[in-house]
Amino acid sequence: MEQARTVVEMRNITKRFPGIVANDNANFKLSKGEIHALLGENGAGKSTLMNILFGLYQPEEGEIFVNEQQVVIDGPNKAIKLGIGMVHQHFKLVHPFTVTENIILGSEPKKWMGLAVDKKTAYETVGNLSKQYGLNVDPYAKIDEISVGMQQRVEILKTLYRGADILIFDEPTAVLTPQEISELLIIMRNLVNQGKSIILITHKLKEIMAIADMVTIIRRGKIIDSLPVSGTNPNQLAEKMVGREVSLKLNKKDAVLGEPVLEVDRLVVKGRQGLNALNETSFVLKRGEILGIAGVEGNGQSELIEALTGLRPVSGGSIKVNQVEIAGETARNISEAGISLIPEDRHKHGLVLDFPVRENMVLETYYQPQFNKNGFMDYDAIDKHAERLVKEFDVRTPTIMTEARALSGGNQQKAIIAREIDKNPDILIAAQPTRGLDVGAIEFIHKRLVEQRNSGKAVLLVSYELEEILQLSDRIVVIYEGRIVGDVKPSETNDQELGLMMTDYKQPQGGLNIEQTD
């Protein structure tokens, strides 16, 4: 292969934030037509480096070359002019707007001497663009109404609409289902074939191995290495990234199953539009078991979690915890009955970001006698409790008086997990517990979940990531349109098969036991 042209070069980039050097003399080079992965722990400085390339931040030092010309990128406008587009880690979409409105925003086609937006042309252009790249997006849909995967495609279309040749993807797969991930990888290949160059930030080593040509590793703001993917392997990458050896394989002994602790029987729950989100769903969870619930997002998982935790009314069926009916009880009573939840959206549901860590640590237990006397909070006890959890779960925070907002995503997650596990619940529901975390943090959290199960408690794991489900679960049920359509052992299946079940290609009659049809 002949030497490809360099389209982006960043030289000696340094960027400081108060109290931290986010990028420390970093060098980075992207060649035409390549997919170049950027790998690093949470907070290593990946997003910062790319935000600099996109003109959102100005570096304190360093130079940038695009197509071998030195440039100053003083704002996204400039980046767009230079043919750079970015799909952000947290999507930048205006939710009440339609897909098309989001895409044309800032460079709208106009009519009547600029007095009006030419909507017709806009919708046509977006429709055509979507077809051209095989993205299959409905130009008329509102962002609020489309799935996360679709939203991401809208982000991609936004860059393409502006004629970007260099595309930056910041953790694009963190929020996608396996199907969506493989579709995205195909799309990316497609883009490269059409002459685009791609920078891909991801924590998933498998994806890097599958699609990237080059990988650059960044640790604490410094570039550690930049090498062709063909000459490396996941273990080596993980080690370079974290700076120590990481076991990518989870060591867990066989499950020792006990009594059933959670029995869900023909549960019916209404969803947001008033339709049944759960349709006579039934399953049983036993002590000493991690039960994975696999499924494409939006098939009733959120409603199931909300029903189990008392946040959503139940229209039929029963939920028993330790043989006691809890359907219809209040969230507080259910929590007392032994269910804990690691919520999917940690900012919205898991934490009060403006509160110090210590107050977040008692969010569900503040009223109990150990933290509360005669209606007064016992802050001595709360402080002791928080100090212990922070230590035990390695939550990296300056002090327990630090606001939760100031913690990194991974540490926020650890704080929540510490709080929930420490309640010593009979049933721990973990929804997307490792979304967006780096491999080191994932390793830690997985270990804690397994420990919980080993101590005779039960874990209900809800995740859109098949790899995580396969690795952690002792048993997997597949949920599709509010029904359980499969019940398998991880050792007896693989992600392809699960993926098919999740989209109902292979639903056997009655929807049970996949092995019989095999």
Ligand X SMILES: Nc1ncnc2c1ncn2[C@@H]1O[C@H](COP(=O)(O)OP(=O)(O)OP(=O)(O)O)[C@@H](O)[C@H]1O
Point out which residues bind other proteins (CB under 8 A). Answer: 51, 54, 56-57, 75-77, 80, 86, 88, 90, 92-97, 101-102, 104-108, 110, 114-117, 158, 162, 309-311, 330-332, 335, 341, 343, 348-355, 359, 363-364, 366-367, 372, 375-377, 379
- The only residue of 30, 39, 48, 291 in contact with ligand X, by rule CB under 6 A: 48
Answer whether 135's CB lies under 8 Å from 160's CB.
no
Angstrom CA distances, 510 to 499, 506, 513, 517, stand at 19, 12, 9, 12
| 368-427 residues near ligand X, rule: CB under 6 A | 406, 408-410
DSSP strand pairing (6-17 vs 276-286): unpaired
Residues in a beta bridge with 158: none
Q: Which does 406 bind (CB under 5 to 8 A by kind): Mg ion, ligand X, other proteins, none?
A: ligand X
| Alpha-carbon gap, residue 346 to 350, rounded angstroms | 4
Nearest-5° Cα angle at 219, 216 to 220: 140
Answer whether 294's CB lies under 8 Å from 498's CB.
yes
42 binds ligand X (CB under 6 A): yes
| Total number of residues that touch ligand X (CB under 6 A) | 17
- Give least dist CB 213 to other proteins, A: 26
| Alpha-carbon gap, residue 117 to 157, rounded angstroms | 19
- The only residue of 4, 5, 12, 17 in contact with ligand X, by rule CB under 6 A: 17
Look up residue 71 and give its two tokens.
């440039």
x/- letters, 432..451, toward ligand X (CB under 6 A): ----x---------------
Our CB check for Mg ion shows the closer of 89 and 473 to be 89
Our CB check for other proteins shows the closer of 111 and 388 to be 111
Q: Which does 352 bind (CB under 5 to 8 A by kind): Mg ion, ligand X, other proteins, none?
A: other proteins
Q: Which does 40 bind (CB under 5 to 8 A by kind): ligand X, Mg ion, other proteins, none?
A: ligand X
Burial group, residue 270, by CB count within 10 angstroms (0-12, 13-18, 19+): middle
Buried b (16+ CB within 10 A) or exposed e, 356-368: bbbbbbbebbeee
Q: Which does 20 bind (CB under 5 to 8 A by kind): Mg ion, other proteins, ligand X, none?
A: ligand X
Q: Which does 233 bind (CB under 5 to 8 A by kind): other proteins, Mg ion, ligand X, none?
A: none
| Alpha-carbon gap, residue 121 to 128, rounded angstroms | 10
Q: Which does 444 bind (CB under 5 to 8 A by kind): ligand X, other proteins, Mg ion, none?
A: none
The residue range among 41-49, 122-130, 254-262, 506-514 that interacts with ligand X, by the rule CB under 6 A, is: 41-49
- The only residue of 47, 173, 202, 299 in contact with Mg ion, by rule CB under 5 A: 47
x/- letters, 74..113, toward ligand X (CB under 6 A): ---------------x------------------------
The residue range among 14-22, 98-106, 238-246, 376-384 that interacts with ligand X, by the rule CB under 6 A, is: 14-22
Answer whether 15's CB lies under 8 Å from 23's CB.
yes
Residues in a beta bridge with 292: 461, 476
Q: Which does 86 bind (CB under 5 to 8 A by kind): ligand X, Mg ion, other proteins, none?
A: other proteins
Answer whether 219's CB lies under 8 Å from 44's CB.
yes
Our CB check for other proteins shows the closer of 377 and 500 to be 377
436 binds Mg ion (CB under 5 A): yes
| Alpha-carbon gap, residue 508 to 505, rounded angstroms | 9
Answer whether 291's CB lies under 8 Å from 261's CB.
no
| 55-114 residues near Mg ion, rule: CB under 5 A | 89
| Alpha-carbon gap, residue 411 to 413, rounded angstroms | 5
- Give least dist CB 183 to ligand X, A: 22
| Alpha-carbon gap, residue 380 to 224, rounded angstroms | 44
Angstrom CA distances, 501 to 75, 131, 481, 512, stand at 46, 28, 12, 11
- Give least dist CB 206 to ligand X, A: 17
- Give least dist CB 82 to other proteins, A: 12
Task: Give the largest Cα separation in the chain, rounded.
Answer: 77
DSSP string, 440-495: HHHHHHHHHHHHHHHTT-EEEEE-S-HHHHHHH-SEEEEEETTEEEEEE-GGG--H
- The only residue of 26, 47, 66, 337 in contact with ligand X, by rule CB under 6 A: 47
- Give least dist CB 90 to other proteins, A: 8
Answer whether 100's CB lies under 8 Å from 154's CB.
no
Q: Which does 348 bind (CB under 5 to 8 A by kind): other proteins, ligand X, Mg ion, none?
A: other proteins
- Give least dist CB 65 to Mg ion, A: 24
350 binds Mg ion (CB under 5 A): no
DSSP string, 378-411: -HHHHHHHHHHHHHHTT---S-TTSBGGGS-HHH
Our CB check for ligand X shows the closer of 89 and 340 to be 89
Q: Which residues bind ligand X (CB under 6 A)?
A: 17, 20, 22, 40, 42-48, 89, 406, 408-410, 436
Q: Which residues bind Mg ion (CB under 5 A)?
A: 47, 89, 436
